[in-house]
Structure 1
């Protein structure tokens, strides 16, 4: 099996703060040793390659991760998100994958676990139809924050895009920067001119929402505060199971999961560590998706990771790689 050695060294990331200053991100004390990736054969078509990676922290904790590399220049494949179809609003990723005859599937965006039925907080656009919108605002102790949560999209010409977005009337706007939220500052709501670089997100056939952005223009850029994830119980600086999507300059899609919350199996990654790993895998853009017990990777109907809940969590959406329809 081919092996690729990629460093997953502990480092200190200083993402841009909401006011343009830099904000220090707390990191765990145990550093990860270099991660070793090995290619595995799961019977997927040649454009889909599957890798498993392992590492050990300096205090002896294991890290176990997987990524799928999809050569999207092959037009026999397509990326498509799907909503769960069960009456509860939730399905296991493996059930969605089986229903859609997917080669690969990962869990999608965030959702209300207690809802009856459960509802997603993240965009789902399937075959040109918006079936769920990104959340527009969130409540935190300081007040109501209007947000431009991030999303990954595929255009009709099969090119990829990743941006901060907002739904304004019937249109979806993309922005080159997010709204300038921070724990101490509430940004105004997005408009047709604010934040910067506002354009209609046109020609997107399929899209999935999540957040925060991890990589932009090939550099680590974590917009955790700007997307107002603070105060949500979703922490940036602690190692957890994580799911991410990204793409390379050579038009390869990267789907990534790492196990966590199970010390004997996998420590997990912080958001800065996840962002750096996506960058090391060649991503010019990358975005975090729902994680924790939701983190799931299915390849040819087999769940590759060990979900931290012990069994698959039912989720409201999944991002799949399927035969072109």
Structure 2
């Protein structure tokens, strides 16, 4: 009898332990956990240009221009991969913003890039760093500090300051509050830095974690200007299909450097890589093999009013 009791207790303990571990994994990777709701920064108009832009708006399937925002989309081919380039000029950093899925900060709160962009009347948008899949890493969005616990990573973060300039930093060297005090309005904890001071900052063999070398990619870069305007380059590549194999980090860095950026940073890629422009998804996001569909993400970077 005592033998049976001991085994019963052991089985019960094992079941409780397994249940606790399963719940912990689900909480980290699956179960949505909302922390706070964020108000949208734009009106609820269904048109991305209605009652927002200033001056005459000129737009085509591949371009948009008004008094403050100029965006041109081009498509290229390299290394058996299709990529899309957004050349963006802004009169002010106030038009470069971020938005959260379901206007909510938390873990595993997701929505497609196009849906978040539409809700915020974005003219242009890309996926962000998928902060919600992690429990650490500084999170500052549109000047609000949401998370101040540092991540343990070999890669630097990207910060966008209130003047629209870029800065990369290591979380071990600063605090989130110090970043806020320095004028940082948006942070991205993914990486790595692709271009620094105009030079390629990754090796030809470097890769994010255990990911394949050829992947869909999303990257953002800045070009220094002398006229006071803000000039950005965003590149999204397709991948993981027969038509488009994807880019390595080094190949993306080479592309960014070819456009004259001084700093470029690698955002979340793979199935997350999405470019949205004037109400349409520009690229072909791949979530599973050859399946063309958007992956739901936790945040976006966008251009709009």
Q: TM-score range by the shorter chain?
A: 0.5 to 0.7
Aligned length: 234
Secondary structure of the corresponding residue to residue 283 of structure 1: coil
Q: Does 1:155 align with 2:170?
A: no
- CA offsets per residue over residues 45-99 of structure 1, 9 Å max, x none? 2433222323264xxx4x2111112213x13851112221278511100111011
Q: How does 1:261-280 map to 2 (within 5 A)?
A: 261-264=240-243, 266-280=244-258
1:164 aligns with 2:169: yes
TM-score, normalised on structure 2? 0.67
Q: Is the 8 A contact 1:49 1:68 kept in 2?
A: yes
- Structure with greater helix share of residues: 2
**Which residue, 169, 179, 190 being the options, matches 1:210?**
190
Of 103-112 and 79-88, the range deviating more from structure 2: 79-88
Instruction: State whether structure 2 residue 230 is matched by structure 1 residue 260.
Output: no
Contact 2:62 2:74 in 1 (8 A): no
Larger Rg: 2
The normalised TM-score by structure 1 is 0.63
The question of 1:108 aligning with 2:135 is answered: no
Q: Cα gap change, 1:262/1:42 in structure 2, threshold over 3 Å: closer, same or farther? A: same
Partner of 1:322: 304
Instruction: Give matches, 1:215-254, under 5 Å.
Output: 215-222=195-202, 232-235=209-212, 238-250=213-225, 251-254=230-233
Q: Which residue of 1 aligns with 2:143?
A: 128
8 Å Cα contact 2:199-2:257 kept in structure 1: yes
| Cα distance in 2 for residues equivalent to 1:269 and 1:169 | 32
Structure 1 gap segments, 5+ residues each: 1-38, 113-117, 138-146, 175-199
Secondary structure at the counterpart of residue 296 of structure 2: coil
Mark the CA change 1:214 to 1:160 in structure 2 (over 3 Å): closer, same or farther.
same
Shift of 1:161: 1.8
**What displacement does 1:223 show?**
7.5
Note the aligned Cα RMSD (angstroms). Answer: 3.1
Tell me how far 1:152 sits from its aligned partner: 2.9
Distance 1:124 1:254, change over 3 A: farther
Partner Cα distance (2:263, 2:109) in 1: 30
Consecutive aligned runs of 4 or more in structure 1 exceeding 4 Å deviation: 118-123, 167-170, 223-226
